[in-house]
Amino acid sequence: MLLLKEIYKAFGPVKALKGVSAEVRRGELITFLGPSGCGKTTLLRCIGGLTKPDSGAVILDGERINDLTPDKRGTQMCFQNYALFPHMTVAGNIAYGLEVHKWKKKRIQERVDELLHLVRLEGLGDRPIDKLSGGQQQRVALARALALEPKVLLLDEPLSNLDANLRVLMRANLREIQKRVNITTIFVTHDQFEAMSISDRLLVMHDGIVEQIGTPSEIYEKPNSEFVASFVGYVNILNGWVRSHGSETEPAVISTEIGDLQILKGENNIQVNERVFLVIRPETIRVGPSYGEARGINEFNSTVITSMYGGSAIKYTVDIQGKNIVIDQFDPSHVGIFEIGEKVTVTIPQNVHILKR
């Protein structure tokens, strides 16, 4: 298990990390997710020994490792640019760390063969690095990082140099390998979809602090701040105040800029007159043909402002009382495709996430 306790790091006047604390569980893949400059790579480098924190503790399996050199920590970093040796073969790159640690030749060959099989590069051990595709180079870098059987694997945006289709394939390969080896892995990215699809848990960072830690579904469905809600996937956020707090059987009534909404409050302990945000994901909103005056629960007349066809879905922007609302419609054949300027009926779900302001 890896513990981070009150990690602080500044570069001159810039405070990159502001007391970051977290626990990384053994065998999990956790992603440090956040925008550029949020501190996620600095935190990764503090764990790997490439950057020394100003204060705080990095504890691995009960041992404080702040003062250990990178090669003594039990961690291995896989860099964004792979950092492969261009003058060596595939096998030479994988074997490099083993040779430095003076493994016997027979054992090195066995380990290299094992890793080539693991990353599906059998038969390519003698190939020069510059004769490999981007995806193959990424797998060589991963095999080299795994060679010494580290306790923690550190991945700094390892897929960012690959094209879109190859990234999807490599995400699946990486996750499969991580599960098979059962190695604790920290993955750094700013790509929300990538983080959601590959991780056991997410650690969302912003401006040097941890905003939220949770499973992908927890982060997506129950964000604990406006930043997390807006950063992880697209979201509609409505400002509101509580007119009626409701009960276990009756919905609360929340007044927003588009009108009054009936909302199931769930576990939220909201009070009358309290200010709140309503977090509404685009895929949860229904859109249909206009049939006159909207009379249903959370039903509104609106006008289509934009319509973008995306293959499996159509993304609409509609106007409700001067507020732009984004809707993802995943089965356009069911109700038809609406044109820009067309009048439509929009239904907001009752089961939305509530954030207190």
The CATH number for 240's domain is: 2.40.50.140
Highest mean pLDDT among 65-74, 133-142, 239-248, 292-301: 65-74
Q: Are residues 135 and 56 in the same domain?
A: yes
Question: Per-residue pLDDT for 6 more than 90?
Answer: yes
pLDDT value of position 329? 92
What global pTM score does this model have?
Answer: 0.90
pLDDT value of position 17? 98
Q: Are residues 155 and 218 in the same domain?
A: yes
pLDDT value of position 231? 94
Question: Per-residue pLDDT for 49 more than 80?
Answer: yes
- How far apart (Å, rounded) are the C-alpha atoms in residues 31 and 219? 12
The predicted model gives 202-215 an average pLDDT of 98
Q: Are residues 292 and 339 in the same domain?
A: yes
Q: Are residues 200 and 349 in the same domain?
A: no
Q: Are residues 259 and 164 in the same domain?
A: no
Question: Per-residue pLDDT for 12 more than 80?
Answer: yes
Q: Are residues 132 and 279 in the same domain?
A: no
Average pLDDT, the chain: 92
Q: Among 230, 250, 283, which residue terminates a domain?
A: 230
The CA-atom distances, in angstroms, between 319 and each of 94, 171, 188, 191, 314 are 57, 38, 37, 29, 16
Q: Are residues 346 and 219 in the same domain?
A: no
Residue 267, classed as helix, strand or coil, is coil
Question: Per-residue pLDDT for 81 more than 80?
Answer: no
Question: Per-residue pLDDT for 330 more than 90?
Answer: no
Residue 131: CATH number of its domain: 3.40.50.300
Q: Annotate 174-220 with DSSP letters as a single string.
A: HHHHHHHHT-EEEEEES-HHHHHHH-SEEEEEETTEEEEEE-HHHHH
What residues does 201 pair with on adjacent strands?
Answer: 30
With bands split at pLDDT 50, 70 and 90, how would you rate the model's confidence at 316?
Answer: very high
Q: Are residues 348 and 328 in the same domain?
A: yes
Q: Are residues 214 and 302 in the same domain?
A: no
The predicted model gives 322-339 an average pLDDT of 86
Q: Are residues 352 and 305 in the same domain?
A: yes
- How far apart (Å, rounded) are the C-alpha atoms in residues 1 and 76? 15
- How far apart (Å, rounded) are the C-alpha atoms in residues 286 and 348? 7
Q: How many other β-carbons are positioned within 10 Å of the β-carbon of residue 35?
A: 12
Q: Give me the domain span that covers residue 23.
A: 2-230
With bands split at pLDDT 50, 70 and 90, how would you rate the model's confidence at 247?
Answer: confident
Q: Among 193, 212, 230, which residue terminates a domain?
A: 230
pLDDT value of position 207? 97
pLDDT value of position 160? 82
Domain count, the chain: 2
Q: Among 197, 230, 263, which residue terminates a domain?
A: 230
Higher-pLDDT residue of 292, 189:
189
Question: Per-residue pLDDT for 104 more than 80?
Answer: yes
Q: Are residues 122 and 251 in the same domain?
A: no
- How far apart (Å, rounded) are the C-alpha atoms in residues 268 and 180? 40
Q: Are residues 83 and 223 in the same domain?
A: yes
pLDDT value of position 268? 75
pLDDT value of position 327? 97
pLDDT value of position 107? 95
